[in-house]
Structure formats: C-alpha cells, structure tokens
Chain A
Amino acid sequence: MLRRVPNSEPVHTTTADRAPQGVVVTVAGEIAPDALGAVLPREHLLGDFTSPAGRASRRPPYRTQFYRAPLTMASLGEIALGAPNRDNLLLDDRDVAVAEAAALRSAGGGTLVDVTTPDLGRDPAGLRRIAEASGLHVVMGAGRHHPARTDGSRDAEPLVEEIVRDLTEGVDGVRAGVIGALAALDPADAAERAVLVAAARASAATGAPVSLTRSADPVVQQRVLDLLAEEGADLARVAVGHCDPLSPHPDDLEPLLARGVFVQFDRLGLLPSVHSVSDDQDVAAAVLDLARRGRAGQVLLSQGVCAKAQLLAHGGGGYGFVLRQFAPYLRMVGADDALVETLTVRNPRRFLTTPARRADS
C-alpha cells in the first residue's frame, strides 16, 4: 500500500553540489561533467549475455528447445519467470539500440554508461554510431567481466596495459570512460584476482571509475574492496552494482557505504514475480531510507538492460524507466526534486568525472 513518507530530514547530500573539476570520457571524446545531464550508470546497448559455452549441455531438453527458439511475444511470460532464451540474451541490433537510446533521450536522459566489456561483445564503433544517431552521451566500458569468459589468465599486467590503452588511446579512436562492469569476483581465485587487480591499477593510473558487481558473500565483498584500495583505486569512484536484493534490508548496505563506494540499484524496471527477492518498491523505500541516513550522495540508479525483454521493443521498461517511471514514483512516496537530481545527475557525474590532475598528467 502506498503511504506518503514523512520527509522532514535533509534528503540530499551537501557535498559535490557543484560539478567537479575534470572531464568525462565518452565515445565521442571528452566532455565537461556539466554536460552529462541525467545519467544511467549501468546499462548495455549491445552485447552477448549468453552463458559461457558448456552450460547449455546441462539444460534439460525442453529447456534447450525453448533456449534455441527465437524470442517472440509469446515467450516473454516464460522468460520473465526465468526460462533462459539465447535470442533474449543477445543485444545485437544497432538500429534497435538507436531507437531505444533515442527513447531515453526523449525521457530526459543525457548519458548512458555502457558497461559492456570486450568479453561480453563490446562494440566501440557501434556505440559511437548509437551516440551520434541518438544525441545521447555514451560512456564505454573496459577490462573484463569474468575470466571464465576468456582465457582465465592469472597475469594482471597485460590487462592493465589493455585497459589503460582503451581509456587513453581508445579502440580505433573510441575511448572507454569506465572500467567494468566486473562480475562478482573472488580475490581467492587467481584469475578473478587478476581482473580485480588490473581494474584497480588501471584506475590508479588514469583516474577512471570502476563498476563492480556485488558479491553475495559480504566477507568476500569487503576483501574485493580491500584489494582495490591496496592496488590504488579510489573507493569513492567505485560503484557496487546489483545492490537491489539488499533493498528490503538497508542496514545490510552499511558495510558498503562505510567504505565510501556508491551502492547501485541497477535492476529497476523488471516486472516482479513470486520468484523476485526484491522489487522496485523496495528500492524506492531503501533510497528514501538511505537519504534520511545522510547517504543520498552514495546511491546510483539504473536499469541494467542486458536482454531484449528489457527493451521497449519487447515490452520492457527500456533505458528510460528510471526517469520516466521510477523518479515520479520516488516523488510520490516522498522524494523531493533535489533528491532526484542527486540520484540521477550529481552522483553519477561525480562517479564518472576523471579528476583534472589525472587528465592533465
């Protein structure tokens, strides 16, 4: 049931009210942080999100048939209930991506961060074309999502070089502006540790932000942050994604917030079912709760589009859900305009802005 939440406490951070000095690197080049507008910090425009080879063989036969069938309107219900479908997990159409990006633009969006890493099928030329055609600023990812998707190397240094090159020189002139998104990785595994170390070192060298995925085990999560800090990353420029499942229990976010990272709710716009652990109402309640605790400056919001079923073209919430539907809902349950701006403009701007001293060096 909906109730108006008392809103007497300050609801927006007092820090970083002005755009930080520095630049944001988009696929079209460097831009001033003030030019970002409203930002969706964890999305995918193009990519391949099917599971690594090998898993399909363990699927029961009826699943295999459904898995291989093209996505249709009639399969969306089963997909929403968790049935894997290969076509659904391929974002492979630039024209569709342009239309979806344009819809975000018309919903008031300014910038989309595409955190697709090369091992998930990153397409730098495609991203630049989408940015040009839609008028959206697009920030591109770098690094690795998960070592199991590639060679599983335990050597961080070649990956550091690759990431720094992507961030500074770019791929055919298209530069990355963020490192990640990394999967939920465990430093105890040598190959996973190498991905984390490479991200941290490249961030230390360039000032680029890092986009992580939350570990299910809070102890592992703290080890990940320890490792990143030891390797020189600034935790204030690290976003920990997939925090949505913790939204029913905001206290569980405190150990993350205490490290200075952003907690990112990035599964917004999905239709809930009985299998859901949390829903968008929970996230809205958590956001207001965090704001009352003075943590509004550490919260990021996104949809995490990584499947066709999440696109407007296939009945989903699209890239504009946060701005078009979630932000009005937040206001309805008690957020003011300042809080919405903090969440959608100021926080992601601080996350993405590479400090001037780094950019100049």
Chain B
Amino acid sequence: MSRYPFEIPDLAGRVLTVAGPVDPSVLGTTLMHEHLFVDLRRPPGARRPGEDAPEAAEPLTLANLARTRHGAPNADNDVLDDPEEILREVLAFAEAGGSTIVEVSPIGLGRDPLALLRLSRAGGLHVVMGGGWYTTAFHPADMAARTVDELADVLVRDVVLGADGTGVRSGVIGEIGAESVPLTDGELKSVRASGRASRITGAPVTFHVGGVGEDRFRVLDILEEEGVAPSNVVLGHAADVLADPAFGERLLARGVFVEFDFLASPGSPWGHLVLMSDHKTARGIAGLVDRGYAGQIVLGHDVCQKIQLKKYGGKGFDYIPRHFLPALRRLGVGEEALHAIMVDNPARALAFAKPQ
C-alpha cells in the first residue's frame, strides 16, 4: 500500500523535463549542472564576512566587478532572476549546438518552476529541474525534527505532482548538499531521503560534492541501501577524482557518474587561486578517457552568479561547446568519447529507473 494518496507514474527509461517526459534520445548536447534562476544570498545567521557591508548591497557593475570576482560578497551577484537576461545567455548555448540544460537549484534557493517552463519554451531548450536540499546553511530551520520519510515525501511530490503547486515537475533530485567534514546529521538525512525518493519515483540524484574524501563512499552506501542504481547518481564538483587518481579509481568503480562542473568559473566565491583550473581539468578528463572512463563523465559550468554570465564579463553557457570541447579534442579525446560525455551519458543519467 503506497504511503501516497496519488499514483506514482512509471517513467522508466524516460527523462522528465519541465515540459513533461521525453525520450532520452531527444536531449542532445546537455549541460548537467547549471542554475538559471537562483538566489544564493545566505540566510540570516549564515552570512559570510562582509555580506552585511554597504558595498555588498551595490548593484553589480564594472566598478565592483574586480572585488566581486575575487570573492567579496555582492548580493546582486548572488541572484539570477531576470528571465530576459537569462534567455539571452542560454540562447548562446543553443547557438553553439546545445539543447538541454539541467537546472539543479535546490528548494529555498530561488528555484522558479514556472520561469523555467517559460524559458524552456522561449529558448527551444529542454530544461530538467532539480530540487532537494542544499548545504546546511540553507537547510530548513526544523531539519533536526524532520524524519527521512517526511523529507522524502517533499521530494516525491516535487517529482510526481510538481513543485510549489505549479505542476512543473522535478526531473532530478538535487543538487543535494553534502559537503561538511564529517557529514552532519542533517546532510546524512537529506542524502538518505533523496535516495528513498529516487527509489520511489525512479528519478536520478545529483550532488553538491556528495561527501568529502571517504564520506563520498558513505553517501554511495546510503544510496545503495535505499535502492538507487549507480547509473542514476551524479557526483558533482568531482575535481578530487583528478587530484587523487587512486581515490578516483575507487569512486569510479562504484559505477556512478563523476561531474566536472566548475568550468569557466571566474573564481568567486573562492578566488581563482583555489579552484582547479580548466586546463588541468581538461588534461585530467583526457586521462580518464584514456583509462576507459568516458562512459562515466559529465560536464557543466555551474553558472550560479551573475559574474559567470556574458553580460557581466563571464564566459557564459557556451564555453563548454565553444572552448572546452575543442580543447579536449586537441588533447586527443575522440568524437565518440565527446559524444558520450555530452549526449549519451546525460541521457543515461537522467533516464528514470522503474519506481519501486
């Protein structure tokens, strides 16, 4: 007897976009980790140093671009909410041959289902909407009091009925925040609820990190316990796979997808001295392909701030097709592997499993 007063549809083998289910073969070139409408301003109590300073309230312009790029908080920078502005940006991706964007904004971070549906129609793009809970700073105040089942219920409703009463459905659960060292009780509960909702609906799960170091395996163990197939799991922000190849091998042996998704980041909020640079990521990916892992790699820019948009001096949503993929080609990555990374793997990762 289902715990839900509604039927769980069987979308096995289909991909659920904001406009409804589609066959995975129509997705084409897919960005697996982006934000189109998002609000990354920290909730009260979780503010970063400088976030309350008067300068942080200035609109993002050339006058404060330098310091914003180098990590100073800017509220305007942390909000993507202008449909026309975003449409122009995603059209650059479409013009470069792209056709699907996975929008992984979690619950409470400005996720806007109807705006995504309108953007999908206006831009002629497939958009897959995310959900779930992000990092602990953004967890609901009553996280400690909620049970795994209660959390899973929210996710199941987003996938089956639609988010926020809009009828627009989540086609992926995440990006689920799991980055604390060690993982907090709230994160562990959120991970387990995501796995449970994934089993119940068949929806794939995508992670913000998904555990640092050995905690990666703890997260994968929880998903396995909850009955999620590895082919429906995407581990985001996976530069550690490249930085520590032995660790990477262990992770890839679990059969999940690893995602390289800080591409074209201008640095903020970490400063460009901290992230792995794209030329190293590209070399690392070429190495993984050489070792036979082309079938487990997916890519994204993780656009989440205005400074990543072309309008504000960023490299935009077409950097991967226009610059990153040609660079991979120059490093010897063949067309078959590129097709796997940009088309086949996203289609496989996003295709629903049979609900259980």
Contacts and interface: CB of A to CB of B under 8 A. Distances in A.
Contact of A77 (B239, B316, B324): B316
Given A77-B310, A280-B273, A315-B65, A275 B279 contact: yes
Given A74-B313, A313-B62, A315-B65, A276 B277 contact: yes
Interface string B256-278: 00000001101100011110111
Contacts, number: 91
B311 interface: yes
B310 A281 contact: no
Contacts of A271: 69, 266-267, 272
Interface string B62-74: 1101110110000
A274 interface: yes
Contacts of A274: 263, 278-279, 281-282, 323-324, 327
Nearest to A272: B277
B307 to A, nearest CB: 8
A272 B279 contact: yes
19 contacts: A1-B239, A2-B274, A76-B65, A80-B313, A81-B315, A273-B279, A273-B315, A273-B319, A273-B323, A274-B323, A279-B272, A280-B273, A281-B277, A284-B273, A312-B67, A314-B62, A314-B65, A325-B271, A329-B273
Nearest to A284: B273
B225 to A, nearest CB: 29
Interface of A: 1-2, 73-74, 76-78, 80-81, 271-277, 279-281, 284, 312-318, 325-326, 329
A42 B280 CA distance: 27
B273 A326 contact: yes
Contacts of B70: 317, 325
Contacts of A76: 65, 313-314
Nearest to B281: A274
Nearest to B309: A77
A325 B313 contact: no
A74 to B, nearest CB: 5
Interface of B: 61-63, 65-67, 69-70, 239-240, 243-244, 263-264, 266-267, 271-274, 276-282, 310-316, 319, 323-324, 327
Nearest to A103: B66
Contacts of A280: 272-273
Given A1-B240, A313-B62, A272 B278 contact: yes
Given A77-B310, A77-B316, A279-B279, A272 B66 contact: no
Contacts of B263: 274
B267 A275 contact: no
Given A73-B313, A74-B311, A80-B315, A275 B273 contact: no
Given A275-B323, A313-B63, 18 more contacts: A1-B243, A73-B312, A77-B310, A78-B310, A80-B313, A81-B315, A271-B69, A271-B267, A271-B272, A273-B278, A274-B278, A276-B277, A276-B278, A279-B279, A279-B280, A281-B277, A315-B65, A326-B273
